[in-house]
């Protein structure tokens, strides 16, 4: 698969985590994640794609929560989502672009597995992401 398609795959994965980031980020405004993913999409139209991707990587690294390592802190969960943005940007600059694309996939998979564990444990969607549970939403099949 070529670099552009791998980047599109990884960018889609990163973009999907915006609600997760918004829910858990305490030190970084929620709109920052949306701004970063918008920049990722702009890389596709940019002839200086590697330079733009490096700028995104520098922005992610400079964020206060980039070094968060306390898994009891909600910012740790936001950092996990933010790392997927970094992986998507790395697709443009890494010698083997398939590697960061796979890392992005594993990152999303890990977050999804953790959410599944929490939800199986009795937490409601509204408690975790501020979303209505599918069975509680209007018009859902039971």
pTM value is 0.79
Per-domain residue ranges of the chain:
3-128
pLDDT at residue 86 tops 80: yes
- Its sign, for the CA torsion 33, 37, 40, 42, is negative
Kindly indicate the confidence band of residue 119, based on its pLDDT and cuts at 50, 70 and 90: low
pLDDT digits 0-9 by tens, 4-30: 999 999 999 999 999 889 888 888 888
Pairwise CA distance, residues 79 & 20, whole Å: 10
For residue 118, what pLDDT is reported? Answer: 64
Is pLDDT at 132 greater than 70 in this prediction? no
The contacts of residue 67 (CB under 8 Å, 6+ apart) are none
CB of 108 within 8 A of CB of 84? yes
Residues 67-78: tens digit of each pLDDT: 777 877 788 888
Average pLDDT value over all residues in the chain = 83
**So what's the pLDDT on residue 138?**
52
Closest CA to 59 of 41, 37, 42: 37
């Amino acid at each position: 698969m070529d670099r552009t398609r791998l980047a599109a795959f990884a960018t889609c994965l990163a973009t999907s985590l915006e609600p997760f980031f918004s829910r858990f980020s305490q030190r970084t405004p929620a709109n920052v994640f949306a701004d970063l993913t918008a920049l990722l999409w702009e890389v596709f139209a940019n002839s200086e794609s590697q330079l733009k991707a490096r700028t995104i990587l520098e922005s992610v690294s400079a964020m206060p929560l980039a070094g968060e390592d306390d898994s009891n802190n909600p910012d740790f969960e936001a950092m996990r989502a933010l790392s997927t943005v970094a992986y998507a940007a790395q697709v443009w600059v890494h010698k083997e672009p398939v590697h960061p694309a796979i890392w992005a996939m594993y990152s999303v998979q890990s977050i999804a597995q953790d959410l599944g564990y929490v939800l199986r444990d009795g937490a409601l969607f509204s408690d975790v992401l501020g979303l209505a549970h599918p069975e509680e939403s209007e018009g859902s099949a039971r």
